[in-house]
Structure 1
Amino acid sequence: MTGGDGVEDITGTAVLRATLCGRVTVTGHGSVLGPRELGGTKPRHILIALLLRAGQPVTKARLVEALWGDAPPSGATGTLEGYVSLLRKRIEPLHPGQDSPVRTVPGGYLADPSLVEVDVERFRALVAAARRPGNPPTRALVDYAAGLLLVEGGLVPDELAPSWLEEERRAHAALVGKVVVEAGMLALDADQPVLAEHWARRALDRDAFDETAWRVLLESLEVRGLHADGVRAYDTCRRLFDRELGCAPGPGIRAAFSRLLAGTRGDDGGLGSLLQAVLRVHAELSPPPLRSVERTGDATGLEEACRALDALIATARHRCGLRVASSA
């Protein structure tokens, strides 16, 4: 069954819904099972392992390794089967009279996607729809937004995870980060700079060194005419790269900064001139390689910038003195 957005629509047929992003839950028949109601840590980890591969068989050997690593106890396979039986009993009240979504297959188990809808699988389906050739940008942005909403909480963030689950977390986080940047780039191309800025900032919350996200952020501020905000954002980026990586941002980011800096000349109230003066002095004091990237003009230009800042400081002190005198 296919929905109007081209994504397989299993919402109408699935009897259960499971979430792995945020709190682990299974919902059905008006009830919700949380982490503590799923039978304990090991049954819950079995369920997570199956839901992460919904529709794909997972062997008993792989599940035994997931539960006990390289040192399984004697009779581990029988214990595993007991945990699966307990897990099914806990889930049964959520789907009375229906088959179990945890199916036995030759050599292992499988989470039946026709019986349980999983948030991470729905996310992947929506991303696939957004990327589909010919999908209109407005529709693709809706698909991206719906998919990203499903995974806001991060993959099983509250689990004290074994190594296999940590690997799943890293892979999932990398995919979500990539998708957030894709969404920001598409929003920018679709002339939705506010949305582009939102997703760029979300991407930078995940990876502060993502140069594409920085470029999307700066360009979205440029499109909105927020030149001073863009220059400040660039300075944050520049400082971060200098401190942590010992290098300057890439050419795309520097090009966006140049346009933003030029745009400040048209700002009202002389803010643009003052901002350029601050940046001129800051660039002079910056260590290489940043000084060579941002340094412009000659000694005369630097002297003019210092005079402009001195005048601003003197005015501020004068006004502050007047306020103090009037209140005395």
Structure 2
Amino acid sequence: MDGVPRVPEQWDPEESVALRFSVLGPVRAWRGAQALPTGSPQQRALLAALLLREGRTATSGELIDALWGDDPPSQALAAVRTYASRLRKILSPGVLVSESGGYAIRLTDASGGGATLDLALAQELAADAEKAKSRGDLCHARALLNKTLSLWDGEVLASVPGPYAETQRTRLQEWKLQLTESRLDMDLEQGCHAEAVSELTALTAAHPLRERLRELLMLALYRSGRQAEALAAYADTRRLLADELGVDPSPDLQELQQRILRADPGLAEPSAPLAPETAAAPVRPAQLPATVPDFTGRTSFVSELCEVLASAEGRVMAVSALA
């Protein structure tokens, strides 16, 4: 499209300003820099349910289940229609559509424009980070993961009711933890073990049964010269798993403990540089300077040498030594 309205009297200047949605925190919407009202908790739950379907249509029955589960109110269908009508008035035309007896939010219209969602951006960044990691560019992958994690803004779907929101909240928080573990693993691979200890200590306290975090903490402590604390972290983990679940630590965690006990040299150093390799410096010549054609600055010595050589007068050549 060339940006010229087809029918001037139908053109709305607000249509040219992109919509933005967020679900990695409170459910919110903006038109440009202007925050839009998203209504009651149930109306935000409807908006979140549609956004998280990534453009797929949700039937009225699915939306009723998402908002109220097995105990919907008697006027649940009318409520869903009311929420959808209110959202349609708030959003740009063509974003919330009705089709096949349900509703959908179209983040991209036929011309390629439309709205953006923080979750979709996070998925793109995470995919790019995985590609960078597969190429061996851990520095760039780590930066992309940090950018991905910065999109979270507190609790996912904060204050949004309903069983669907609860399920999605758990799923997205788990995904965030997986991304955090991947980024911390890259931190350790790039020599940032001392900086990672404090973050890992807080995360293991918040998620005490997550063995991957315990493993990373032990490695970060060991590489920071804190072998005794790394072994103490393993002992705490073993005791906690036995008390809470009646199980032993995973084989990976047990192997790490044994490697720490014997001070395995393979644990001491990261396997990747902190920064990407720079271009090789140009080769500089390493040769001696060129020979000078004659002596300089020693006029008296040159004169004396000339007299010695001239005094030979055809006889045996005089030999002189210079130091």
Q: Distance in 1 between matches of 2:97 and 2:195?
A: 42
Query: Per the alignment, do residues 123 and 194 of structure 1 end up closer, same or farther by CA in structure 2, a change over 3 Å counting?
Result: farther
Partner of 2:128: 129
Partner of 2:24: 21
Structure 2 spans left out of the alignment, 5+ residues: 1-15, 109-113, 264-323
Greater Rg, structure 1 or structure 2? 2
Query: Per the alignment, do residues 232 and 18 of structure 1 end up closer, same or farther by CA in structure 2, a change over 3 Å counting?
Result: same
Within 5 Å, which residues of 2 pair with 1:27-106?
A: 27-33=30-36, 37-70=37-70, 72=72, 76-89=76-89, 91-92=90-91, 98-106=92-100
Q: CA deviation at 1:77?
A: 3.8
Q: CA RMSD in A?
A: 2.8
Q: Aligned residues: percent identity? A: 26
Q: Distance in 2 between matches of 1:100 and 1:226?
A: 59
The amino acid across from 1:103 in the alignment is: V
Query: Per the alignment, do residues 203 and 56 of structure 1 end up closer, same or farther by CA in structure 2, a change over 3 Å counting?
Result: farther
1:169 matched to 2:169? The reply is yes
The amino acid across from 2:40 in the alignment is: G
2:17/2:32 contact within 8 Å kept = no
Secondary structure at the aligned position of 1:38 is classed as coil
The amino acid across from 1:54 in the alignment is: E
The amino acid across from 2:31 in the alignment is: G
Q: CA deviation at 1:224?
A: 2.1
TM-score of the superposed pair, with normalisation by structure 2 = 0.64
Count of residues in Structure 1 that have an aligned counterpart in Structure 2: 241
Structure 1 spans left out of the alignment, 5+ residues: 1-12, 93-97, 264-328
Partner of 1:147: 148
Partner of 1:316: none
Q: CA deviation at 1:75?
A: 6.2
TM-score of the superposed pair, with normalisation by structure 1 = 0.63
Q: CA deviation at 1:250?
A: 3.1
The one of the two structures with greater contact order (alpha-carbon pairs below 8 A, sep at least 6) is 2
Q: Distance in 2 between matches of 1:214 and 1:242?
A: 15
Secondary structure at the aligned position of 2:20 is classed as strand
Q: Distance in 2 between matches of 1:41 and 1:213?
A: 34
The amino acid across from 1:170 in the alignment is: T
The amino acid across from 1:237 in the alignment is: T
Q: Distance in 2 between matches of 1:71 and 1:209?
A: 34
Q: CA deviation at 1:148?
A: 1.6
Within 5 Å, which residues of 2 pair with 1:231-242?
A: 231-242=231-242
1:111 matched to 2:112? The reply is no
Secondary structure at the aligned position of 2:150 is classed as helix
Query: Per the alignment, do residues 206 and 151 of structure 1 end up closer, same or farther by CA in structure 2, a change over 3 Å counting?
Result: farther
Q: Distance in 1 between matches of 2:138 and 2:235?
A: 32
